[in-house]
Amino acid sequence: MARQPKANTPYTAQRLGEWLRNMRESKRLPLRVVAAAAEMDQAHLSKVELGQRMLTTDQANAIAKFFSVEANEMEARRIAEKFRFEYANNPAAEKAIHMIREDIAVYGAKK
What is the residue extent of each domain of the chain?
12-107
**Predicted pLDDT of residue 1:** 42
pTM of the shown model: 0.77
**Does the 12-107 domain belong in CATH 3.20.20.190?**
no
pLDDT of residue 111: 58
Please determine, for residue 80, whether its predicted confidence score (pLDDT) is greater than 60: yes
Which pLDDT value is given to residue 77?
95
Please give the C-alpha separations between residue 7 and each of 23, 36, 48, 62, in angstroms, as whole numbers.
19, 33, 23, 30
Q: How far is CA 67 from CA 30, 41, 70, 88, in A?
A: 14, 18, 9, 28
How confident is the model at residue 2, as a pLDDT? 43
* pLDDT band per the 50, 70, 90 thresholds, residue 12: low
